[in-house]
Chains A and B, each alone.
Chain A
Amino acid sequence: MTTYFTPEHEWITIDEAGNATVGITDHAQEALGDVVFVDFPTVGFAIDAGGNAGVVESVKAVSDIYCPVAGTVTEVNDALSTDPTTVNSDPQGAGWFFKLSGVDPSALDGMMDEAAYTTYLTTLP
């Protein structure tokens, strides 16, 4: 499964059935610092592409999470409620945020793959 990336430093994977998993990138967790809280979207809610999908907070900073694609929230990573530091230790694995269903795979067209995202990071100040 290919992982795609947004300029807002979220990652997304999607299977053939249109089920997607979303989280924040290693670069994002590094910039945030120690994560202390993740506020999830509500399970069952439909979110538009670019819509607000929660908040991730570190000791010093609050950062909004935007939904990279339209879909319906089917699951959130409750394990992060008890140990939010997993976002720091494994942001692109166990530190995932939420899952979506009903995602149109064509929504990923034009999104950055890992190589493009790595290049994108080098353009940032």
Chain B
Amino acid sequence: MPESASPLRCTALHILHQELGGRMVPFAGWSMPVQYPTGVAAEHLHCRAAASLFDVSHMAQLSLRSADGTHAVLAALESVIPADLIGLAPFQQRYGLLTTQSGGIRDDCMVTRRDSDVFMVVNASNAEADIDYLRAALPPSIAITPLADQSLVALQGPLAVSAIRSLDPAVDSLIFMTGEFLSLDGIDCFTTRSGYTGEDGFEISVPTNSAEHLARFLLNIANVAPAGLGARDTLRLEAGLCLHGHDISLDTSPIEAALTWAIPKVRRAGGERAGCYPGAEIIEHQLTSGPTRRRVGLTSDERVPVREGATIVNHHGVQVGRVTSGTVTPTLGRPIAMAYLDTELATASAAAPTKGSVFAEVRGKQVLMAITTMPFVPHKYVRRPSVRTPTTSTSPDSEQS
């Protein structure tokens, strides 16, 4: 990725990252830890087994307000995001896609309805463009404020809830994709039970001047360890979650990306608030007639990593797709990848999930890969309220909300 000449921005946890031995790399204009001395694999496994703290302050947090209340903000957002946002209950959160006129994906985001504003989190690499776009696309009555004085950390993993509970028992009122203001060591933090690892966990919006204090406090809790962007990437890939700029982009539609679930019935043809978002006609057409390619998961019994950009060919050597993300997963110890495949192959495999296979080309060699459904490891989202022991439910698909 080409880096601009402008100096990298540092998060509030920069000194802590250095103290922990984090290997700092440029990412979307920020200096971020890609890993700590434990390494990507150990950090990945720790998150699946215990609780990991990620600095995700590079992502942009926005507050959207209207004098007419949050309903007006959500109604306006529905003109740029084909999700059911008006239907959000107070403090409920939803995953959304900002679509383009040509049916592509400008960015993906999280939208949460709060008491007096709507809280949005967008990707770091698109933040500036998103803010400009939203200011132009939404009516002037909607005030869009980047929350410049808020940092964002994620605590993810099966033991995340007990760590947060030791600070504020009110955490037990949260289920997956809801948020609440919690008092964490006396710091007022807007906390959502969500994340991007496939695990139960939290994303915590904390005032920047208290962020380092909170991070140190969380890291002092038993079983909590820091994890970098490297582990975040392998975790989200295992969870079948898309990375914008790679698995989804301006050139991929939500239907091609197999994110149809993010467009609920109410926004589809025949629905109460159908269409009326950028690219609606193209996306509706793909919904009814099917796209020409679709995002699928690939796994292999071989050991060679199959990475982004690898060409996928069928048994006759004809190109049928391309890999958009790939790694060797620390949990499964084998290559996994996301790829766009010609629909015929992608659909046939969905009907007979174990039968479809293709070859990925790696340095002139062909690696046999099976076409599979995602996630590669089951999600562990907590969808029902619990008191002491969290009831974890595993979802068979990549549905997030």
**Residues of chain A having any CB pair with chain B under 8 Å:** 33-34, 36-37, 39, 55, 57-60, 62, 81, 84
Knowing A37-B328, A39-B363 touch, does A60 contact B41 (C-beta < 8 A)? no
Q: Which residues of B contact A81 (CB under 8 A)?
A: 303
Knowing A39-B363, A59-B234, A60-B230 touch, does A34 contact B303 (C-beta < 8 A)? no
Q: How far, in angstroms, from A33 to B230 measured CA to CA in the complex?
A: 10
Knowing A37-B328, A39-B363, A55-B363 touch, does A62 contact B307 (C-beta < 8 A)? yes
5 residue pairs from A and B, CB less than 8 Å apart: A34-B39, A34-B41, A37-B304, A55-B363, A84-B303
Contact of B40 among A37, A59, A62, A84 (CB under 8 A): A59
A-B residue pairs, 6 tightest by C-beta? A36-B328, A34-B41, A59-B40, A34-B39, A57-B305, A60-B230
B152 nearest CB across to chain A (Å): 23
Q: How far, in angstroms, from A37 to B300 measured CA to CA in the complex?
A: 14
Contact B304 A39 (CB under 8 A): yes
Q: Which residues of A contact B34 (CB under 8 A)?
A: 60
Contact A59 B303 (CB under 8 A): no
Q: Which residues of A contact B328 (CB under 8 A)?
A: 36-37, 57, 59
Contact of B39 among A33, A37, A39, A84 (CB under 8 A): A33
Name the CB-closest residue of A to B44: A59
| Residue B299 lies at the interface, judged by CB distance under 8 Å to chain A | no
**Residues of chain B having any CB pair with chain A under 8 Å:** 34-35, 39-42, 230, 233-234, 303-305, 307, 327-328, 330, 363
Q: How far, in angstroms, from A34 to B35 measured CA to CA in the complex?
A: 11
Q: Which residues of A contact B233 (CB under 8 A)?
A: 60
Contact of B303 among A37, A58, A62 (CB under 8 A): A37
Contact B39 A36 (CB under 8 A): no
Contact A33 B363 (CB under 8 A): no
Q: How far, in angstroms, from A59 to B42 measured CA to CA in the complex?
A: 11
Name the CB-closest residue of A to B40: A59
Name the CB-closest residue of A to B229: A60
Q: Which residues of A contact B327 (CB under 8 A)?
A: 59
Specify which of B35, B39, B327, B330 lies most central, judged by the most chain A CB atoms within 10 Å of its CB: B39
Q: Which residues of A contact B363 (CB under 8 A)?
A: 39, 55
Name the CB-closest residue of B to A32: B39
Contact A59 B307 (CB under 8 A): no
Q: How far, in angstroms, from A39 to B362 measured CA to CA in the complex?
A: 11
A49 nearest CB across to chain B (Å): 21
Q: How far, in angstroms, from A57 to B304 measured CA to CA in the complex?
A: 8
A59 nearest CB across to chain B (Å): 4
Contact A36 B230 (CB under 8 A): no
Q: Which residues of B contact A84 (CB under 8 A)?
A: 303
Q: Which residues of A contact B303 (CB under 8 A)?
A: 36-37, 81, 84
Contact A36 B35 (CB under 8 A): no
Q: Which residues of B contact A59 (CB under 8 A)?
A: 40-41, 230, 234, 327-328, 330
B392 nearest CB across to chain A (Å): 26
Q: Which residues of A contact B304 (CB under 8 A)?
A: 37, 39, 57
Q: How far, in angstroms, from A83 to B252 measured CA to CA in the complex?
A: 38
Q: Which residues of B contact A39 (CB under 8 A)?
A: 304, 363
B367 nearest CB across to chain A (Å): 11
Q: Which residues of B contact A58 (CB under 8 A)?
A: 40
Q: How far, in angstroms, from A81 to B233 measured CA to CA in the complex?
A: 24
